A and B are shown apart, each in its own frame.
Chain A
Amino acid sequence: MITVKGLRKAFKRQVILDGIDLSVPAGSIFALLGPNGAGKTTTVQILSTLLRPDGGEVRIGGHDLKREPDAIRALIGVTGQFSAVDSVLTGEENLMLMAKLRHLERDEGRRRIADLLHRFDLTEAAKKQAASYSGGMRRKLDLAMSLIGNPQLIFLDEPTTGLDPRSRQMLWTSIRTLADSGMTILLTTQYLDEADRLADRVAVLDKGKLVVEGTPTELKRRIPGGHVQLEFADPTALQKAAQLFGIAFNATSETADSLKLKVALTETVASLRAILERLDSAAITITGLAVQTPTLDDVFLAFTAQSN
């Protein structure tokens, strides 16, 4: 669906994208993960024909981005970071505007609008001005507007940033449903759990470069920092546990004082279960444990350290 080779973009002298290669197969969910300023939004803006790239080759749905932007526009839907709804119009009128701009037949348009309002739980608010909508409702309306022309590909730029947990869950479900219906989705996010939940493949972007790409499972396996912190009643138990997990142990270290031990996890639940079983069978009791899943900070520290 999308192939990108050597994509470059600079604003004035600042390099934003420094040679990006991407390949997004049709029907998959692809997540671009990265901190603020990594170039995620710029990438989406270029791929969605808003910005002109300085260099590189982009093909979307078989069309060249530079030569046939309008053919690409007919294939895509875009929901950006900033709400792209008309606040003066009602939810229904916003959808009607999109249907008309996409030249849908009147009946076909009405049917799709009713369907989308229902699907995004906006039927009740349909006749209210979008200005009165909550952040979550605006985002859902925004997504519904992108979907009205049945696009083959949608871009979601930080779709859940700033949403409350409930709206986020609802949006995740909607996105999954879209992918199941065969739509290709490229989303950007700052949240590792979001990429994990939704994406088939994840690429990590940092300072305009792709530092790593893979399935969420592959990526997490390569991320250090996911660990469980075990707490023990006495130094003997701590020492035995350290030997059990083959962790170098120094009796004078901070670890010994606090009676705490960190054990790396490769997969959260399975590894945790294995660790507890090993402790059990060695008859070591723990007084507490805390699971620390990998954070985006861990990913960056790990991969940017590698790329430097």
Chain B
Amino acid sequence: MTPVSHNMSNTSTMFRRVLKHMQRNFGVTILPALFTPILMLLMMLNIFGGTIEQSGSLSGSSYINYLTPGLILITAVYGISGAALRANTDMTQGIINRFRTMSIARMSVLTGHVFGNVIITLFSISVILVLAGLTGFRPAIRSDTLLAATGLIAFMVFALSWLAVAVGVSSKNAEGVNGYLYIIYTVPFLSTAFVPTDAMTPILAWFAENQPFSPIIDTIRALLTGGEVGTRGLVAVGWCLALTLIGYLWARSAYNGLADT
């Protein structure tokens, strides 16, 4: 076998290991990932939805159409806890030392977690999209924009998965993982996920406009509801790329740093 096919074979073995883990613990894997987005869907729609539609800042479109891309982000962000905890469990148990003394592609154990999280999160997002459809979400059906939206969602989930694995690898225990997660969880709330920035204070509005997730949500929203993507699409792709790179490098250095601790 060539080094490349060795590497792919190791990664696919590790990926299937993570799938088996998720399948064995399906309930605890999927429920926390779905709980928050479903709660947000019901709460935002029924409590704030009417007020936001009446305020006119949505320029006439329905709130569920505005909210759904935000829910996609929430699902992806809350979904990372599973991957972070699974990676952390690997690091804190003996199995990682076995992998590290084997002649295998070094990063394959982490890449397995990343792909595992991408699959499970895309599944969660599909569930949320079905629920959003039941409560009135009506995307603009055009094959090219739908394809672009799917691609961007997958890229965002991929980036978040690397961040999740980095958090898992660099934390000493589950409490450490939760510490990072609380910080990451707050970021989507200070974005354009739930409401337009019009009514925010200027400083908050500036942050909400320019933080990494907002261009991504705005682009997904434009693609799904037939809006104008513009240069924000490039910014969105740029952020996905940057977050992937940060997550990957952070995970790699934490993983290699295990050696001397």
Which residues of A come within 8 Å of B, CB atoms? 11, 48-52, 70-71, 73-74, 76, 78, 80, 82-89, 93, 97-98, 100-103, 129, 145-146
Contact = CB atoms under 8 A, between A and B. Distances in A.
Given A51-B259, A100-B9, A103-B6, A86 B101 contact: no
B17 interface: yes
Contacts of A78: 97-98, 101
Contacts of B98: 78, 80, 84, 145-146
Contact of B97 (A50, A98, A129): A50
A74 B95 CA distance: 17
A84 B102 contact: no
Contacts of A11: 260
A74 B103 contact: yes
Interface of B: 1, 6, 9-10, 13, 17, 20-21, 24-25, 93-95, 97-104, 259-260
Nearest to A89: B20
A86 B95 contact: yes
29 contacts: A11-B260, A48-B101, A49-B101, A50-B100, A51-B259, A52-B259, A52-B260, A73-B101, A74-B103, A78-B98, A80-B94, A80-B98, A82-B93, A82-B94, A83-B94, A84-B97, A85-B94, A86-B17, A87-B93, A88-B20, A88-B24, A89-B21, A97-B17, A100-B13, A101-B102, A103-B1, A103-B6, A145-B98, A146-B98
Contacts, number: 66
A70 B17 contact: no
Given A80-B94, A84-B93, A88-B20, 11 more contacts: A11-B260, A71-B103, A73-B102, A74-B103, A76-B101, A80-B97, A83-B94, A85-B94, A89-B21, A97-B17, A100-B13
A11 B13 CA distance: 35
A189 B260 CA distance: 23
Contacts of A88: 20-21, 24-25
Given A51-B259, A89-B20, A101 B101 contact: no
A82 B95 CA distance: 9
A71 B17 CA distance: 25
Nearest to B109: A101
Contacts of B93: 82-84, 87
A97 B94 contact: no
Contacts of B24: 88, 129
Contacts of B1: 103
Contact of B101 (A50, A87, A100, A103): A50
B9 A103 contact: yes
Contacts of A52: 259-260
Contacts of B95: 84-86
B188 to A, nearest CB: 30
Nearest to A75: B103
Most chain-A CB neighbours within 10 Å: which of B93, B95, B99, B100? B95
Contacts of B103: 70-71, 73-74, 102
B101 to A, nearest CB: 5
Nearest to B105: A101
Contact of A97 (B13, B97, B260): B13
A70 B10 CA distance: 15
A50 B13 contact: no
B257 to A, nearest CB: 12
Contacts of B102: 73, 98, 101-102
Contacts of A103: 1, 6, 9
By Cβ-Cβ distance, the 9 closest A-B pairs, closest first, are A84-B94, A84-B98, A73-B103, A82-B94, A74-B103, A100-B13, A78-B101, A48-B101, A88-B21
Contacts of A86: 17, 95
B106 to A, nearest CB: 9
Contact of B17 (A83, A84, A89): A89
A46 to B, nearest CB: 10
A89 B93 CA distance: 14
Contacts of A71: 103
Contacts of B21: 88-89
Contacts of A82: 93-94, 97
B44 to A, nearest CB: 36
Contact of B10 (A48, A50, A101): A101
Contacts of B94: 80, 82-85
Most chain-B CB neighbours within 10 Å: which of A51, A73, A87, A88? A88
A77 B233 CA distance: 50
Nearest to A70: B103
A100 B14 CA distance: 10
Contact of B13 (A48, A70, A101, A145): A101
A182 B103 CA distance: 22
